[in-house]
Structure 1
Amino acid sequence: MSLYDKLLHALTHYPIDELGILPCAPNLSEIPSDAQQYYPLLVVGCKLGFSFDQWMVLLKETQELFNDYRLHHFEVLDMTDTLEQLTRVMVLLKPDNYTAMNIRKQMVVRGQVSIPEELKLIELMFTIAKHTKSSIAWYHRQWLFTFNNKQHMNDMDMEREIQLCQRCITLHPRNYYAWNYRQWLVALMIERDNGILQQEYHSTCQWMEKNISDHTGIRHLEFILDKWMVSLSTSSSIQSSPQGSTLLSDHHHQRQIIQSHVAWLTALLLRYPGHESLWCHQRFCATLWFQYRDNDKQWTDWANQQHRFIQQILDNENEQHQSLDLSNYQQQLGFSSKYGLWLCFMK
């Protein structure tokens, strides 16, 4: 039995819910007797593991079988169970395979593969940390919910999808594609419940406190803040007076939120000096304040307050007793100086 056949048999006869790449092949004597038939693969309960060397062999065997199949079954309509099995193994081993993924799309459209089965396949794929950064896999998952006139979006378990994103960004930080998919989810959830923005804001802030240098997470936080500000403007931009006329409200609520957020960000800047991601986010917050000011004086007061904060850093008044790490202090001075210069241009 070839390595491909062993892998396919294990996937077919066991409810595998997690894949793993092992540092080396296990010893046959250490494998449970009922799983020795799959050696050198390791099957324990619902878990399946293979070494990196075996992974390369599997990729080669599967690609050769796929090429041979296409050579003898070149008709586009000839999509058998064998092709489904080949493409399933191919995307599990290497998600960034356009050909295999497009074939599976055709199978979904024709009803040969069900959407719930395909969603489970992607979740299994994402149990390997490296695969969580596959743009093809994330787009395929999004496509599964949208290809049929949004019919399946009504059945989408949003909480499950958010949990999947959370697990993937934990397995592989700085995961742009997982955060991008999460933004798409949030945009859909806003249409159903506008209050989801506050919940997502707080959860993302908690994530950032543990992953200071994750630029992709900060971009998601900025997306949430921007949507939150827009939603407040939409709900309160026009108020009716007793006489029936319309009055434009100010942006007091938005500025309150921005001030609270900047206070949180300032604490992080002092606690974790020298992180460019935080200083870039500081500029975003300043831009938000500029956008939602009611007059130029509010912007001038804000800029002066920021300059005082920068001067405190340059004078080293707060660093000694608030920072957890002073090894990046020179970088902190550089980033704060550049931020101050940027503010001057803004003024």
Structure 2
Amino acid sequence: MADCFTTLARILTLPLVSIDILPGYGHEWVDADADASLAPFLLKDGNLGIPQKALVQAYFVAIESFKFARKRISIDQFAVEDAVSSSSVIVLTNPAHTTALDVRKALVKRKVLDAKKELEFTTALLTIRESSKQSIMWHHRRWLLRYIFTGDVTVADGDLTDVHFPPDLFRREYRLVSADCELYDRNYYAWAHRSICSRALVAAISSSTSKDEASQYMSVLEDEVNGMRTWIEQHVSDYSAVQYFHNLHDYLRQLPFSMIETVLPLISGTNSMLSHAFPLLRRYADHESLWLYLRSGISFVRDGDEWPREEIQQFAQMCASSSGPLEGKSIAFANDPNKIGRNARLFLLWLTRHTGHES
């Protein structure tokens, strides 16, 4: 058991791209090219495979080592090293272990752990499904981001708008969230992290000191808006994505008036949320998330703007009565007309309240 712990702790100090927990002891995963010194763990091109049985053994040793190290961490260098090793195995096994994460924060502040390497470690941890579901893990990541770029960790979690991040950092965080949301559908905490990053991106655009800098951030924003449209098309039942995209539009409308003209082409006209939502709904009318998406699109229509209210209303009324296929394409309509009818009736009630006109 101690050997498993020592080997795993050593591996966790290396740069890692991803981590997978493998069933059993891992013997069936070993190939001829595997590094025997890393057994029973498998490491190839930064991708780490950890047999479940070996992880449990290492965890038991880590817990005992951590208890002892915490008591002597302020006076004993060996205890500091044990705290680093044991806490890495603990947060790998139990990503919601607040005490272990707090110790790692303290070690970052003491310069025992390098903050940037710790951020890379959390990137690898967040490739594990169970880790990506833990709010405390995302909190730890934001704490590190703030510490790296400001050295100040006194501000409450949930706001990074006062931190000046480079454009590429936003792209990296967006990629991480997208990967995690593929691992775990409707990952609320991952989407919350994305939302916090987007607020920071909008703040960066607002505070840009040059056209070149603003242009770089705008490029990130444009990719994010277009990428989210594609994401919703490919994940039509993702409520969290729809909610995030709604929030993103809200943030953009809070930009200074001088910048609104630059942003409007991204989110108006044929690029508006409504223009995207309605055609999607016509194809996949059994997905409640798309009815909510359509509501969001309508809610952003400004007074005086033209929008296909009658066409949308007629479509919803047809769905509410469950009469016939939608454009000849809706297989889902034929399979579950009751679900579509229920969603359509709820939408029509909302539309009446929103517009003040009977549907």
- Residue in structure 2 matching 1:176, options 175, 179, 188: 188
Residue 293 (structure 1) aligns with: 303
What percent identity do the matched residue pairs reach? 22
Tell me which residue corresponds to 2:332: 325
Is the contact made by 1:146 and 1:153 (CA closer than 8 Å) also made in structure 2? no
SS of residue in 1 equivalent to 2:12: helix
TM-score by length of 2: 0.78
1:267 to 1:116, Cα distance in 2 relative to 1, 3 A:
same
For structure 1, list consecutive stretches of 5 or more residues without a partner in the other structure.
238-251
CA distance in 2, matches of 1:338, 1:89: 49
Partners of 2:180 and 2:317 lie apart in 1 by 40
Residues 29 and 293 of structure 1: is their aligned pair in 2 closer, same or farther, counting only changes over 3 Å? closer
Contact 1:19–1:128, Cα closer than 8 Å, also in 2 = yes
Structure 1, 213-222 or 126-135: larger mean CA deviation: 126-135
Instruction: Give the secondary structure class of the aligned counterpart of 2:91.
Output: helix
1:212 Cα offset (Å): 0.9
Amino acid at match of 2:223: Q
Query: Which residue is 2:105 aligned to?
Result: 105
Say if 2:294 is the partner of 1:282.
Answer: yes
Partner of residue 39, structure 1 = 39
1:335 aligns with 2:349: no
Once the two structures are TM-superposed, the CA of residue 4 in structure 1 deviates from its matched residue by 0.7
**Aligned partners of 1:235, 1:9: CA distance in 2, in Å?**
50
Q: Secondary structure at the match of 1:48?
A: strand
Amino acid in the other structure paired with 1:272: Y
Say which of 155, 161, 185 aligns to 2:197.
185
Name the structure 1 match of 2:11: 10
Output the CA distance in 2 between the equivalents of 1:125 and 1:253: 38
Q: Tell me whether 1:316 sits opposite 2:323 in the alignment.
A: yes
Matched position secondary structure for 2:185: coil
Does the 8 Å CA contact 1:28/1:40 hold for their aligned counterparts? no
**Offset, 1:99:** 0.4
Residue 237 of structure 2 corresponds to residue 213 of structure 1: yes
Q: Please give the residue correspondences for 1:1-347 in structure 2 after superposition, counting only pairs within 5 Å.
A: 1-12=2-13, 15-27=15-27, 30-32=30-32, 35-44=35-44, 46-71=46-71, 73=72, 75=74, 80-147=80-147, 150=150, 153-154=164-165, 157-190=169-202, 191-192=204-205, 193=214, 195=218, 196-231=220-255, 235=259, 256-257=268-269, 260-289=272-301, 292-294=302-304, 303-313=309-319, 314=321, 316=323, 319=326, 321-326=328-333, 327-346=335-354, 347=356
Report if aligned partners of 1:23, 1:51 keep a CA contact under 8 Å in 2.
yes
Larger Rg, first or second structure (1 or 2): 1
- 1:141 alignment partner, SS class: helix
1:273 and 1:329 in contact (8 A); partners too: no
Distance 1:288 1:338 in 2: 19
1:127 is displaced (CA, Å) by 2.3
Distance 1:272 1:317, change over 3 A: same
Structure 2: state its 5+ residue gaps.
Answer: 152-162, 206-213
**Partner Cα distance (1:150, 1:113) in 2:** 17
Please provide the CA RMSD for this pair.
3.2
Give SS of 1:325's match. Answer: helix
Question: TM-score scaled to structure 1, two decimals?
Answer: 0.80
Aligned CA distance change for structure 1 residues 106 and 309 (closer, same or farther; 3 Å): same
Cα distance 1:177–1:77, how it changes in 2: closer, same or farther (>3 A)?
farther
Q: CA deviation at 1:267?
A: 1.4
Q: CA deviation at 1:74?
A: 6.8
